[in-house]
Amino acid sequence: MRSPTSPDTRSRRDPSTNTGPDAERAPSPGTPDIEARTSPCTDPRRTNAESDPPGPSTRSRWRLPYRLTLLGAVFLIMTSLIRINTPAVERVSALPDPTPSDAVASAPTPSTTDPAPDTPASPQLDRRALAQAIDKAVRGDARLSVAIRDLTTGVSYTYGSQRRFTTASIVKVDILAALLLQAQRQDRRLTSTEESLADRMIVHSDNAAADALWSAIGGAPGLTRANRSLGLRETTATSASWGLTRTSARDQLRLLNALTSDEGPLNERSRRHALDLMRSVDATQAWGVSAGTAPRDDIALKNGWLPRSTDGGRWIINSIGRIDGDHDYLIAVLSDRHSSMASGIDMVEHVTETVMEAMA
């Protein structure tokens, strides 16, 4: 308990430093203090003029006019203070209301400006409906996975993303990327022999050429090292055969991204070399993701197909590529367990058309 003479008690008793409950009684700086303006000629013991003694004294004759003058001065001072302290909102409220035409002009209107060319509007992709359409397209025991990215809008879509598939010949693009990356690190171009082998491997899907370049990059360990640099995370090479490499549709999209993006490890010359070979694929092997294209689209692709004796002779059908037209798509469609090569191609192409139509 504080003593009566503590600093806090004195401050509450001093109006000049009062911050306690009694502060409400002190006049605020902007409040006219009428008592401070009482005439010094007024005797505080008197209550009105009638208390003056009768008589024609000089003091009696001048008291009434003097009080009238004093009251007039006080009135003028108070009027001035009221004008100064009047809130601005009250002065604004005196302005006339806006006319109907003024109100329309001042009302905000919705913007109809088109998005800037470098920030195109994303399409409204109905992912649930697209997944249902793909479900219907996958017949029998077949399995399928799709990954697509629209580089124009930035929209991506995947179906069956957790599934892994044997690559068959689409791994030849991965082998080529590893070869180009190896040459870059050695600060050289591909040799004429390497160029010839790469051409045969991609354009004609020549397996002997793939064998030679598989050895040149260091086999499975070499491909694994290259894939770490290329950003692949779901691809597993095996020393048994390059064609038995396991991968995902998402990882194939990462590989395609490394062939098209200037932010990856491959330089512009290496990326152009790989895409030029994929644009030149033999016409008899140009099926697959090319199904959803228009006549003027720029198509760069590679397919893989393989009947598996360990799977009752059923077929692996894979297709990856870049489709550059009204939109710039990277797409990978991987599948297996098809009863025939033809039925597998039909399914892959039907799903490609379905997905690209939904993305457009």
Between 53-62, 140-149, 272-281, the lowest mean confidence (pLDDT) is in 53-62
More confident residue, 217 or 57: 217
What range defines the domain where residue 194 resides?
128-304+312-359
3-state class (DSSP) for residue 45: coil
* Amino acid symbol at 36: A
Percent with pLDDT over 90 in the chain: 64
> pLDDT, tens digit, for every residue of 138-159?
999 999 999 999 999 999 999 9
- Domain of 268, CATH number, reads 3.40.710.10
Element (H, E) at 334: strand 328-338
Residue 267 contacts residue 183 (beta carbons within 8 Å): no
Residue 63, pLDDT score = 54
Residue 73, pLDDT score = 60
Residue 295 contacts residue 326 (beta carbons within 8 Å): no
Distance CA 198, CA 225 (A): 20
Residue 83 pLDDT > 80: no
Element (H, E) at 212: helix 207-216
Q: What total number of domains does the chain contain? A: 1
Residue 325 pLDDT > 90: yes
Residue 227 contacts residue 208 (beta carbons within 8 Å): no
Rg, Å, the chain Cα set: 45
What predicted TM-score, i.e. pTM, was given to this entire model?
0.67
More confident residue, 11 or 69: 69
Residue 133 pLDDT > 80: yes
Q: Per mean pLDDT, which of 27-31, 44-48, 289-293, 339-343 is the most reliable? A: 339-343
Residue 325 contacts residue 331 (beta carbons within 8 Å): no
Distance CA 325, CA 297 (A): 5
Residue 352 pLDDT > 70: yes
Tell whether 253 is covered by a domain.
yes
Tell whether 299 is covered by a domain.
yes
* Amino acid symbol at 83: R
Tell whether 110 is covered by a domain.
no
Tell whether 104 is covered by a domain.
no
Between 19-28, 177-186, 350-359, the lowest mean confidence (pLDDT) is in 19-28
Distance CA 73, CA 80 (A): 11
Tell whether 204 is covered by a domain.
yes
Q: Strand order in 156-159's β-sheet? A: 156-159, 143-150, 328-338, 314-324, 298-308
* Distance from chain centroid for Cα 286: 36
SS (H, E, C) 172-206: HHHHHHHHHHHHHHCCCCCCHHHHHHHHHHHHCCC
Distance CA 228, CA 193 (A): 26
Tell whether 162 is covered by a domain.
yes
> pLDDT, tens digit, for every residue of 213-267?
999 999 999 999 999 999 999 999 999 999 999 999 999 999 999 999 999 999 9
Tell whether 27 is covered by a domain.
no
pLDDT confidence of 38, banded at 50, 70, 90? very low
Tell whether 61 is covered by a domain.
no
